[in-house]
């Protein structure tokens, strides 16, 4: 057993249909010399305590096994710990795997073995970290940026704050998690961009895009949104980027990054 590795299994993996692939996974990891301790997330188990317990025992690599929701359960606190994150996606949704260039299933073990580590920026929403994006739908929020200017949706719409990639289908436009910036993408309500059928068209022209480092999201109405698929609500949110905060074992070097 490699004491530097710990694997966090999501609770849905207790289902019988995952038993076979977990057995194969553990066999392959053992063959690669990467087998480590295993912790299982459960409904009433504090994920932060579980991971911190591993770290206090000398674990240097936390590998999350499950799907994108597994990442969400851990990523909100993981950047503060002195560990490198790995990801083995075994079930959908696994869009984050694509953004991190990690193949799904057993092939992800080879990525762990190759051990190409990248430092990624993480976003911070108040006291909570996020890796991919924050989404507020149907909001009339104002985004005040760097105390210099503010951006307002005149008639409301969709406000996204992106650090890495995006949750929509348009995977061609990926935010860079190594540029030290967040990207605000604001899309007015459909009425302003030509009605329902306009959704079928490419609407990039109607998206506001601004790069920034820190700002505040303000609204007179309570806002409900998602930060890395985790539900959030409130009136005001401070949002910022923390450069090079999270070390991740990735599939291949991100475009534009410098070899270390």
Residue numbers of the site for another protein (CB under 8 A)? 140, 142, 148-155, 157, 186-189, 192-195, 197-198, 200-201, 204-211
- With tokens 């920026």, the residue in question is 121
| Total count of residues recorded for the chain | 260
Q: CB of residue 222 vs another protein: minimum separation in angstroms?
A: 16
The 3-state DSSP class for residue 70 equals helix
What is the H or E stretch that residue 113 is in?
A: helix 107-114
User: Residue 40 CB, nearest distance to another protein (Å)?
Assistant: 44
Angle value at C-alpha 257, between 161 and 238, nearest 5 degrees? 25
* Complex with another protein: residue 22 or 210, whichever CB lies closer: 210
* Residue with smaller CB distance to another protein, 208 or 240: 208
Q: How far is the CB of 103 from another protein (least distance, A)?
A: 30
Closest CB to another protein among residues 58, 256: 256
* C-alpha separations of 197 from 159, 191, 216 in Å: 21, 10, 33
Give whichever of 169 and 196 is closer to another protein, judged by the CB atom.
Answer: 196
Write down the residue that tokens 């309500």 correspond to: 189
Q: Are 216 and 239 in contact (CB under 8 A)?
A: yes
Q: How far is the CB of 145 from another protein (least distance, A)?
A: 8
User: Cβ closer to another protein: 202 or 260?
Assistant: 202
Q: How far is the CB of 84 from another protein (least distance, A)?
A: 31
Residue 54's nearest CA partner among 29, 26, 27, 78 is: 78
Measured N-to-C along each axis, helices 107-114 and 19-31 cross at an angle, to the nearest 10 degrees, of 30
């Amino acid at each position: 057993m490699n004491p530097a590795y710990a694997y966090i299994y999501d609770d849905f993996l207790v289902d019988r249909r995952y038993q076979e692939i977990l057995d194969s996974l553990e066999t392959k990891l053992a063959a690669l010399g990467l087998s480590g301790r295993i912790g299982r997330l459960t409904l009433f188990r504090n994920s932060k305590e579980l991971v911190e317990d591993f770290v206090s025992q000398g674990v240097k690599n936390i590998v999350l096994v499950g799907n994108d929701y597994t990442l969400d359960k851990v990523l909100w606190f993981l950047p503060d710990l002195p560990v490198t994150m790995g990801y083995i996606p075994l079930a959908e949704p696994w869009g984050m795997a694509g953004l991190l260039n990690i193949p799904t299933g057993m092939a992800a073990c080879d990525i762990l073995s190759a051990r190409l580590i990248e430092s990624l920026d993480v976003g911070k929403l108040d006291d909570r970290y996020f890796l991919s994006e924050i989404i507020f739908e149907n909001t009339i929020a104002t985004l005040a940026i760097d105390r210099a200017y503010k951006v307002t949706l005149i008639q409301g719409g969709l406000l996204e704050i992106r650090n890495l990639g995006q949750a929509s289908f348009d995977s061609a436009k990926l935010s860079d998690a190594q540029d030290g910036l967040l990207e605000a993408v604001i899309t007015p309500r459909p009425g302003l961009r030509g009605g329902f059928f306009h959704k079928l068209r490419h609407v990039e022209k109607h998206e506001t895009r601004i790069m920034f480092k820190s700002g505040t999201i303000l609204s007179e109405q309570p806002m409900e949104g998602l930060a890395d698929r985790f539900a959030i609500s409130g009136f005001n949110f401070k949002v910022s980027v923390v450069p090079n905060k999270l070390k991740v074992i990735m599939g291949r070097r991100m475009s534009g990054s410098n070899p270390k």
